[in-house]
Structure 1
C-alpha cells in the first residue's frame, strides 16, 4: 500500500467509515434508518454527547484529562430547573450563574493541576465527585419537577419549521469557534505544544499554568452549557443524569484524534467520531440489538481509540525526528 494512500486513509478514515455505515444501515433498514426522523432524533439526542466530547477535547490538547465534565453536566441540568422552580430565579440569571459555575469549576481544576501539581486524573476525579455529592445533596436523590420558563424551553427547540434541532446548531457553532481557537489562534498552538513537548513550550516562554488553566475553564464552560441544553430537552431534573456522558465523551475525543489530524485531538475529528458512534448505535438498535450494545460498543471503541491515538502519536514523533 502506497504511503499516499495510507496517509489519505489515516486522515479521512472516520469520514469514510461514517459514509460506509450510513450506506450499510440504509440498506439493512431502508424504511426506518434513512429518514428525516432518524436524522432529527440523532441530531437532537447526540448533541449533548458532542458538546461533552468537545469539552473533554480542549484540555486534552494539552495532554490533560477532565473527568469532571460529566458531573458538571449533571449538576448544571439539576440547578437549571431547581433554581427556576424552587428558588424562583429568572431563567436568564440561572443560565448566567450556571455558566459562571462551570468556569469556576474549570478554574479550580486548572489551579489544582497547574499550580498545585496534582495529576489531572486525580484532580478532576475529585472535583467531579464533589460536584456529584453537591448534586445529590441539592436534589436529595430525587427528581426535581416544575414548570420551566417557555423562553428557556425554547433553547432546545427547532430551527423555524424545519426538523433541525437547535442543539445540533449549537454543536456546529461551538465546533466552529473551537476550530478557530485551536487551529488559527495562538491559544490553540500553545496548547498543542504543551501537549506534545512541555519542555519545548517552557523554553519558548509559554506559561503552561496560564494556558492549562484556561483550557480547563473553557472545558467547564462548555460542559455547563451542555447541561443547560440538556435540561431544556428533559424538562425534569434527574439526579442520576450526567455520568453516562463520560465514556462516550472520551471515546469521541480520543477516536477523533485518529483522523483529520492523526495523533492530535482536533474538532472535526471529534465531531466525526461522535457521529460514527451515534450512527452505529442507532443502526444496531433499529436492527434489534439488545440494550447492552451501546456501553459495550463504547467501551471497545475507547480501547481501540486509545491504541490508534498512541500509534498515530508515535508515528508523528518518528516523522518529526526524521525531519
Structure 2
C-alpha cells in the first residue's frame, strides 16, 4: 500500500484551510442542534458581534507577525471611546470627534512602538505597562463613570446603521478593513518587511529593512484599529464606558492564533484572522443559543485556544 507524501506547499495549504474547515464544521453542527442558528438575522448578528474583535485582531495580526504582542488593545479602545464621547458631549461635530479618537489611538500605539523599538523593552512588558496606564487615564478622563450625554445621528449610524438596509455598517467596515490589510500584507513592500522582521529581525536588518521603523508603524496601526473598534462599540451602545474593552486583547490574540498566525512571528495571513474572529463569534453565539452557562463558555473558549496553540507548535515541528 503506497504512502501519500505531502509536499511542503500542500502541507502549508492544508494548514491554512484548517481554520476555515473548523468554522464550517462548527457551523454545520450548530445548525443541526439549533434551528435559529442559520437564520439571516442570526448570521448578521454573529458578523456584527465579531466585527469589533476582527478590527482589533487585524492590527494584532501585524503585531504578532513581528513576533510581538499588544496587551494594551482593550485599554486603547476604552480611552479612545472616552475621548470621543467627551468631545461629543461638548457639542463637537461627530466627524471631528471620531477622527480625534482615531488619532489618539494611533498616538497610543506609537508610544508602545517607541518604547519597544527605541527603548528595547520587551513587547509583553511594554504593553502590559501601557495597558494599566491607559486604563487609568480612561477612568481619570471619565471620572470613573459612563459618558452618554450625547446625541448624533451620524455617529449612531457607525455602529447601528445598515448599507442597503441589509448589511450592518460594522460588518461592511470589517470587510473593508480586511481588504485593506490583505493588500497591505500581500502587495506592498511594507508587508514583506513585516514578514521578514518577524522571521528573523537580524537578517532583515542586514538586508536593509529598517526594523525600528517597521515596529513603530505596526504598533501605531494596531492602536488605530483598536480605536476604530472603540468607535463602533461606542456607537452601538450610545455611551462610553471607562471599563470597556477589558479582555478584548485576549479575544483578538485568540482570533489571530486560531487563524493560523504563529506566535513566534513571520508566518500567518489576514484571511485566517478574519476566519478566527468569525469562529469565536460563532462559538459565542452558538453557546448562547444552547443556553450554555457563561462560566462554561470561558472554559470552552480556553480549550479551543489551547488546541490552536498546540496545533501551531505541531505545524512548526513538521515544517
Do they fold alike, i.e. is TM over 0.5?
yes
Deviation for aligned residue 1:298? 2.7
Give matches, 1:123-134, under 5 Å. 123-134=126-137
Corresponding position: 1:172 with 2:175 = yes
User: 2:50 matched to which residue of 1?
Assistant: 46
Q: Specify which of 60, 75, 79 is matched with residue 75 of structure 1.
A: 79
Deviation for aligned residue 1:7? 4.9
Q: Specify which of 277, 282, 285 is matched with residue 282 of structure 1.
A: 285
* Cα distance in structure 1, aligned partners of 2:105 and 2:33: 43
Deviation for aligned residue 1:304? 2.4
Runs of 5+ unmatched residues, structure 1? 317-323
* Cα distance in structure 2, aligned partners of 1:150 and 1:29: 36
Deviation for aligned residue 1:223? 0.9
Cα distance 1:314–1:148, how it changes in 2: closer, same or farther (>3 A)? farther
> Residue deviations 1:110-162, cap 9 Å, x none?
11101110001111111121110001111222221213211111112111221
* Cα distance in structure 2, aligned partners of 1:212 and 1:263: 13
User: 1:321 matched to which residue of 2?
Assistant: none
> Residue deviations 1:23-63, cap 9 Å, x none?
11111112x11101111211111210111111211111111
User: 2:115 matched to which residue of 1?
Assistant: 112
User: 2:216 matched to which residue of 1?
Assistant: 213
> Residue deviations 1:261-320, cap 9 Å, x none?
x9723210011111112112211221121112332233223322222223333444xxxx
* Cα distance in structure 2, aligned partners of 1:283 and 1:58: 29
User: 1:194 matched to which residue of 2?
Assistant: 197
* Cα distance in structure 2, aligned partners of 1:179 and 1:236: 32
> Residue deviations 1:213-238, cap 9 Å, x none?
11001111111111111111110222
Corresponding position: 1:101 with 2:95 = no
* Cα distance in structure 1, aligned partners of 2:19 and 2:309: 15
User: 1:234 matched to which residue of 2?
Assistant: 237
- TM-score, length-normalised on structure 1? 0.91
Deviates more, 1:3-12 or 1:164-173: 3-12
* Cα distance in structure 1, aligned partners of 2:194 and 2:157: 35
Local SS of the residue matching 2:215? helix
User: 1:58 matched to which residue of 2?
Assistant: 62
Aligned length: 311
Question: Does the Cα contact within 8 Å between 1:258 and 1:312 map onto a contact in 2?
Answer: no
User: 1:35 matched to which residue of 2?
Assistant: 39
Aligned-residue CA RMSD in angstroms? 1.9
* Cα distance in structure 1, aligned partners of 2:225 and 2:234: 14
Local SS of the residue matching 2:294? coil
Give matches, 1:149-164, under 5 Å. 149-156=152-159, 157-162=161-166, 164=167
Runs of 5+ unmatched residues, structure 2? none
Question: Does the Cα contact within 8 Å between 2:49 and 2:281 map onto a contact in 1?
Answer: no
User: 2:272 matched to which residue of 1?
Assistant: 269
Question: Does the Cα contact within 8 Å between 1:77 and 1:228 map onto a contact in 2?
Answer: yes
Question: Does the Cα contact within 8 Å between 1:25 and 1:283 map onto a contact in 2?
Answer: yes
Corresponding position: 1:12 with 2:14 = no
Local SS of the residue matching 1:116? coil
Cα distance 1:314–1:214, how it changes in 2: closer, same or farther (>3 A)? farther
* Cα distance in structure 1, aligned partners of 2:82 and 2:142: 7
> Residue deviations 1:197-255, cap 9 Å, x none?
11210110111101111100111111111111111111022222111312111101112
User: 2:4 matched to which residue of 1?
Assistant: 2
Corresponding position: 1:26 with 2:26 = no
